[in-house]
Amino acid sequence: MKLEPHFKLWLETEDGYVFGQGSFELLHGIEEKGNLKAAAEELHMSYRYAWGVIKKIGDTLGQPIVIAHRGGKVGGGGAELTETGKKLLETYLKFKSDLTQICSKTEV
Per-residue pLDDT of the chain (108 residues; tens, 9 = 90+): 777 778 899 999 998 899 999 999 999 999 999 999 999 999 999 999 999 999 999 999 999 999 988 876 656 678 999 999 999 999 999 999 999 888 877 665
| pLDDT for the residue 108 | 57
Q: Is residue 4 part of a domain?
A: no
Q: Is residue 70 part of a domain?
A: yes
- Whole-angstrom distance, CA of residue 13 vs CA of residue 6: 23
Query: Strand runs (DSSP E) across 3-108, as ranges?
Result: 10-13, 16-20, 66-69, 78-81
Altogether, the residues listed in the chain come to a count of 108
Q: How many domains does the chain have?
A: 1
End-to-end CA distance of the chain: 10
Q: Is residue 65 part of a domain?
A: yes
* Strand 16-20 versus strand 10-13 pairing type: antiparallel
- Whole-angstrom distance, CA of residue 13 vs CA of residue 10: 10
Q: Is residue 10 part of a domain?
A: no
Q: Is residue 3 part of a domain?
A: no
